Amino acid sequence: MNVLEINNLTKRFGDFIAVDNMSLQVKEGEIFGFLGSNGAGKSTTINMIAGLLRIDQGSIHILGKDVSKHKRFSKMNLGMVPQDLAIYEDLTAYENVNFFAGLYGLRGAELKEKVEEALEFVGLQDQHKSYPKNFSGGMKRRLNIACAIAHQPKLIIMDEPTVGIDPQSRNYILTSVRKLNEMGCTIIYTSHYMEEVEEICSRIAIIDHGKVIADGTKEQLKSIITNTKDVWIEVKSLEPIRVDAIKEIKGVESVQIDENIVKINSDTSVNNLNTIIEHFINQHIEIRSLEEKAPNLETVFLTLTGRTLRD
Ligand SMILES: Nc1ncnc2c1ncn2[C@@H]1O[C@H](COP(=O)(O)OP(=O)(O)OP(=O)(O)O)[C@@H](O)[C@H]1O
């Protein structure tokens, strides 16, 4: 079943088209990665899913129901962890979660139980009486998550939940995402950190200029660029390296130097490894190690959009 279905969605700000005839489906049980560089249209799409922004054209269905027509149903089934923290500094951690869960109509013993469960889930049960102004960035992010999940929605959208936090909190959040997923939640996860998306997402859409330019599993996305391969050669010293000469070797498409590693991207149809090694030997360049690298999502993103994710 599709938990989320977006059909031909468009959003304009004046003459500018932020989301351009976008269509995509997210299936039950997925952790779906939403990848795009700054301004690609991720937040605009998410805000339309959450009913915070008017749709110009197209439609969005959550669990088969049109979000424009079934506002309450969509709200009850959606948990939104926004990019900018949505918590009140002058309410305690408990009062914050209580406030948001209350907006979904939870009352009395059920409300208390769900608030306590959410605080425990994000590891803030011992700080339930503390004010977020005394929290670290990571604790505030965790509280933000508790506020979004207390009403136990089927679909949770997390818009860059790990921005600007310490590695420990980041791991905590990634583990929480997996746990929520195991508990039956479908999750949409946006991040600028490719390695996070690669680690936790079962399917990924790459967004560029308001359009989905590719979507699939990591393996499917990587197979888009199987026409090139990378060889990384670690050398003792970069001193005699001549990038221009390496680029002239048949099949070589690009050469990058990263500290003392020479990263050579070649066309897979040309077997040029011997020629490359001979070149290094002839130039009396001492090779320390040599590794053939499988393409990663960063390479896929770069190939498809012409930019790195964090441009
Ligand atoms: N209210 C608005 N008025 C005018 N332009 C807007 C508005 N909101 C967003 N935009 C523009 O729409 C484009 C898409 O923005 P959006 O925030 O959706 O991108 P994003 O992919 O979420 O980027 P980021 O990773 O920086 O959050 C950007 O060029 C942005 O400047």
The complex scores an ipTM of 0.96
What is the sign, positive or negative, of the torsion defined by CA atoms of 40, 23, 49, 299?
negative
Answer whether 40 contacts ligand 1 (Cβ < 6 A). Answer: yes
pTM over 0.90: no
Residues 208, 236 share a domain: no
Interacting residues of 175 by C-beta distance below 8 A, sequence separation 6+: none
Rounded Cα gap, residues 305 and 251, in angstroms: 23
Ligand 1 centroid–CA 97 distance in Å is: 28
51: pLDDT strictly greater than 70: yes
Would 16 be classed as within a structural domain? Answer: yes
Average pLDDT, integer, range 133-151:
92
Distances (CA, A) of 104 to 75, 98, 152, 177: 8, 10, 10, 22
Answer whether 38 contacts ligand 1 (Cβ < 6 A). Answer: yes
Answer whether 13 contacts ligand 1 (Cβ < 6 A). Answer: yes
Q: Amino acid identity, residue 217?
A: T
Residue that terminates a domain, selected from 154, 188, 217: 217
Q: Domain count of the chain?
A: 2
User: What are the tokens at 301?
Assistant: 């993103």
Residues 264, 208 share a domain: no
Ligand 1 centroid–CA 209 distance in Å is: 10
Average pLDDT, integer, range 140-145:
93
Which of 45-54, 219-228, 238-247, 255-264 has the weakest average pLDDT? Answer: 219-228
167: pLDDT strictly greater than 80: yes
Rounded Cα gap, residues 145 and 80, in angstroms: 8
Give the 3-state DSSP-derived string for 157-169, with helices as H, strands as E and coil as C: EEECCCCCCCHHH
Is the Cβ–Cβ distance between 252 and 231 less than 8 Å?
no
Residues 248, 199 share a domain: no
Residue 150, domain CATH: 3.40.50.300
Is the Cβ–Cβ distance between 32 and 123 less than 8 Å?
no
